[in-house]
Amino acid sequence: MTGVGARWQIEVPADGRYLLALKVSTHEPEAVRALRLDGRSLLADDRPIRIPTTGGFGATPEEWRHVIVSTAPGQPVEFVLTAGRHTLDLISVSGPLNLDALRLIPR
């Protein structure tokens, strides 16, 4: 459903640069989500993230993928966070998406 989403409060252990990885599955050609960190889009120009099909909706281990949030394939989004609590929102734009985990990766 468009506009439906989830919000997490995340604790960042140290100031630094980070990547965001999502463990997801989708049987559609693409799932599109708006991603906001502390109320601001994680991507430039308020663009949503596009997650390509994983071949299923997570019924088997092979249908799950770890996806690094990127502007395009091979171009991960690196962002700066301060230590402490931050708010992360993932909002549906189109296509169903099954989400298992979020992971901040220090750079």
pLDDT at 26 over 90: yes
Q: What is the pLDDT of residue 46?
A: 87
Report residue 33 CA to chain centroid gap. Answer: 8
- Nearest by Cα to 19 from 64, 70, 66, 65: 70
Domains and CATH numbers, the chain: 5-106 (2.60.120.260)
pLDDT (tens digit per residue) in 41-98: 988 888 999 999 999 999 999 999 999 999 877 789 999 999 999 999 999 999 999 9
Q: What is the pLDDT of residue 42?
A: 87
Q: What is the pLDDT of residue 44?
A: 82
